[in-house]
Amino acid sequence: MAAQEIEAAKPKSKRNPFVFLGSCDSYTAIGDGSFSEQNLIDGFNQYAAAVFRLVQNIIPKLEVQGAQNVLFEGVQLIPSLVKPHLNHRNKFILVTTDEKKLKSNRDGLFKDNQELLERYSIERLMLVQTEIMRQSLMIPNNVKHPFYDDRCLRVV
């Protein structure tokens, strides 16, 4: 949300369109906007990069202030973007789920909103999760949190 507010303050011609999309609909800004697995992943990665730029501006300010034990959470914090920040005590924690739990959470959150249920379909959410899991292979084991379960990577 903060990234959207910052982008909204810019002139329209300088706004990054990915900031105003979500993890499962950012493919609409790729090519002709049609859905494909590859467009979903490409759009998701560009969406994550656009939102992560805000976090990159915050991290140095926190370090200067001596902030410790700060937790950043979000689907946009993908391994390929956070890897350079995994030094000192910083850790990467990947939380995954299965289709059954994902469906239960999604259905509870979006209830009868058919548009959101379709936008955040189980297929799309699982594709995004698999992409994040694939990227997590680049994270060295010494910066993975102990709760990180390498067994979840078998689906990659």
Q: Tell me the residue type at 74.
A: G
Phi/psi of residue 37, nearest 5 degrees = -60, -45
Q: What is the mean pLDDT of residues 93-121?
A: 90
Contacts of 103 (CB under 8 A, 6+ apart): 122
In this prediction the pTM is 0.79
- State whether residue 73 is helix, strand or coil: coil
pLDDT score at 144: 59
pLDDT score at 143: 63
Please tell me which of 88-97, 114-123, 132-141 the model is most confident about, judged by mean pLDDT. 114-123
pLDDT, tens digit (0-9, with 9 covering 90-100), for 123-139: 999 999 999 888 888 88
Instruction: Write down the residue that tokens 């090519």 correspond to.
Output: 31
- State whether residue 18 is helix, strand or coil: helix
Question: Which tokens belong to 151?
Answer: 């067994």
Using alpha carbons only, how large is the chain's radius of gyration in Å? 17
Domain boundaries, the chain: 2-155
Element (H, E) at 56: helix 37-64
Cα(46)–Cα(52) distance, integer angstroms = 10
pLDDT score at 76: 84
